Amino acid sequence: MKDDGQPVLLFEQVSKWYGPVIGLNQVTLELRRGITGLVGANGSGKSTLLRLATGQLKPTLGRVTVRGVDAWEWRAKALVGYCPDNDAFYEDMPGREFVAAMARLCGFEKAEALRRTEAVLERVGMADRADRKIGGYSKGMRQRIKLAQALLNDPQMLVLDEPLSGIDPIGRQEMLELFRGLAAEGKCLLVSSHELEELEKLTDHVAILTRGRIAAVGTVTQIRDMLDDQPLSVRIDVHDPRRLATLLVNRLEVVGVELEPKVLANGTHESLIVRARNPRRFFEDFGKLVVSEELDVARLEPLDDTAHAVLGYLLGGSGKT
Amino acid sequence: MSRPAPSPHLLRYRTLNTARRGPWFGSVAIARSSLQLLAGRKMFWTLYIFSLLIFLLYFFGQYLQVFLEQRVSESLVRTGGVFGRTIRPDFFVNMLRDTLRMNGTADTYGDFMWTEGYIVMVLLAFAGSAIVGNDFRFNSLPFYLSKPIGRRHYLVGKALAIAVLVNAMTTIPGLCLYVEYGFIDTWEYYKNSTRLLFGILAYGAALTITLTLLLLVTATWLRRTVPLIMVWTAAFVMSRLVQRWLVDGLGLSPRWRLLDIWNDMYLFGQWCFGTNHLLLRPGNQIQPEYREATAVIVVVCLVCVWYLSRRVRAVEVVQ
């Protein structure tokens, strides 16, 4: 897929009001190829953002474009695939018929619609089960059918709202593989999910939404680095933790040093927990320190640079979404 | 999913711009899938068979009337054990021509479409939630609206499906009867009855537009089948009883008959057929003016359009 330097999805100072309630507040967002996770608490504006991105809503202010075309236009929608959260289908319709109907809705001739239907059903692993009525499908099968209809138009951008919900662990792995494959083809995937652990397996590039605003966009590490007011906690397993604590405590980046509460049988501490600002500089300095002081470091483990922790800091809570 | 992962090139299709049609094609696709959905229900076929029976009654009734009038010269016809072994053809001719009006006149087509309209009304009451209501009730609209179509195309698609139903049971059979009567009468019939042809098309159009808009409004508003049937019944059956009670019972102005939208459409149809207002049947009921009935239909349609435009905008609200 060509990349002409133009972003696939572009939000320019977008606001969306529902009467007196603001759903999205001056959001600017630029997405290119690859997978981006969209995270945020309930009511943070995720659904509004996804609906604006898929052209289902018009922004009150600002502009949303897909490859330079207004997202509201049908030409832009032709570049987008959307897998919604809800799975309210025509229960009496077989899955294959539903996907074929959606293909016709995309504007494809009958033969082409049938060809694409078979291709996408094969790709999501539903080809052999698609003749059953949707009413008899499990949650996971419904997810696959939803994904199939989103892939029909070979979209440049795929918007997935809770795509892993209800899928068993093996199915999840298959779905994650499928998403990675689509990203490898050069597609732009915007994945909204409350399941941060699964999302982290898929991508480390996230957009965090809170109260209708984009709080941060980037890799989890980049976002974590920017959180100066929330020092990074690092656990260091070292032969002599007390000596290391003495060496670290004078460093500018280090704001706290704590000996691990767990005490070994011989009375010594096993490890040290360091809280440091500006993690990148800290790790550079720490590397030099280890070499110069010939420290015997067994393990180095950042404790709060996961998406969950980052989200917790940004949302000011537990990070639960 | 035990099969090996398919090739990532599986979805490499040809260039998008050459492979697809515009958004209006999507409306046709919506109409088609709605009709498919309906065709899978037994209720639809039961009501359709009823409608077909009415059509066959008129179809063979017209043929019988002409046949008896022109071919049977005897005053009594032996029928075996039926009708007391013998019947008088002129009795049947009079019944078919004067009572049932199966004689290729404005009354034939007006009465036929009026009667078929009742079946259509019942069918639409049941079909409304399946065609439109469920999309709003289960919030399925994102599936449609994320595809390369707009809200307008969605509504047009649904309206198209309803229009196909209405026309398949009123206008098209009406045209068939018109063509049939020309065949069993003389070719001159077509030449002399162009007004009837216009009437069939215009009455059919009025039924189509009004019923389509009313169904879209009630289905998007109520969504579920039972409330939809109740409101639909109130609109078409209760209003008829009320207008009769007000005009025939209390002796109020015939304008109160305008409450009955079904009657208004019938009056509009008769106007298009060119029927003299004084000869409207039943003769003992004074009817409001044709233009008044037409005005009511126009107002109802405009209100429906206004509601739908508001409703379409309201779809934006995330519930």
How do the pLDDT tens digits run along chain A, 321 residues long? 555 677 899 999 999 988 888 889 999 999 988 999 998 888 888 889 999 999 888 899 999 999 989 998 888 988 999 998 887 767 878 899 999 999 998 888 888 999 999 999 999 888 888 899 888 888 888 889 999 999 998 999 999 988 888 788 888 888 888 899 999 988 999 999 877 777 877 887 888 888 888 888 888 777 777 776 677 888 888 888 888 888 888 888 888 888 876 666 665 667 888 888 777 788 888 888 888 888 888 888 888 777 677 777 766 654 444
Judged against a pLDDT cut of 90, whether residue B294 lies above it is answered with yes
- One-letter identity of residue A136: G
Cα angle at B224 between B220 and B228, to 5 degrees?
Answer: 75
Torsion of CA B119, B123, B128, B129, to 10 degrees: 150
DSSP string covering A167-220, please?
A: --HHHHHHHHHHHHHHHHTT-EEEEE-S-HHHHHHH-SEEEEEETTEEEEEEEH
* Residue A318: φ, ψ to 5°: -85, -10
pLDDT tens digits along A74-129: 889 889 999 988 877 678 788 999 999 999 988 888 889 999 999 999 998 888 88
Beta-carbon separation of A84 and B10 below 8 A: no
Q: CA-to-CA distance for A143 and A86, rounded, in angstroms?
A: 9
Which residue from B5, B134, B142 is facing A177, i.e. has the nearest CB? Answer: B5
Query: Chain A: nearest CA to B52, how far in angstroms?
Result: 26
Q: State residue A317's pLDDT score.
A: 53
Query: Chain A: nearest CA to B269, how far in angstroms?
Result: 36
Which token pair is A133?
Answer: 């009525």
Residue B312 touches partner A, C-beta closer than 8 Å: no
Give every CB contact of residue B286 below 8 A, 6+ residues apart in sequence.
Answer: B247, B254
Q: Which residue do the tokens 């079909």 mark?
A: B127
Beta-carbon separation of A102 and B143 below 8 A: yes
Residue B43 touches partner A, C-beta closer than 8 Å: no
Cα angle at B294 between B293 and B296, to 5 degrees?
Answer: 65
Mean pLDDT for chain B overall: 82
Residue B310 touches partner A, C-beta closer than 8 Å: no
Q: How many whole angstroms from its chain centre is CA B290?
A: 20
Which residue from B8, B30, B139 is facing A105, i.e. has the nearest CB? Answer: B30
Q: How many whole angstroms from its chain centre is CA B35?
A: 15
Query: Chain B: nearest CA to A128, how far in angstroms?
Result: 10
Mean pLDDT for chain A overall: 84
Residue B10 touches partner A, C-beta closer than 8 Å: yes
Residues of B whose CB is below 8 A from A82: 142, 146
Residue B36 touches partner A, C-beta closer than 8 Å: yes
* Residue A302: φ, ψ to 5°: -65, 135
The enclosing H or E element of B127 equals helix B106-128
Q: How far apart are the first and last CA of chain A?
A: 34
ipTM of the complex: 0.71
Residues of B whose CB is below 8 A from A178: 5
What are the domain boundaries of chain B? 8-224
Q: Binning pLDDT at 50, 70 and 90, where does residue B317 land? A: very low
Beta-carbon separation of A48 and B20 below 8 A: no
Cβ contact B169:B119 at 8 Å? yes
Which residue from B11, B29, B36 is facing A105, i.e. has the nearest CB? Answer: B29
Residues of B whose CB is below 8 A from A116: 13
Q: State residue B300's pLDDT score.
A: 95
DSSP string covering B185-201, please?
A: S-THHHHHTHHHHHHHH
* Pairing status of strand A271-276 against strand A254-259: antiparallel
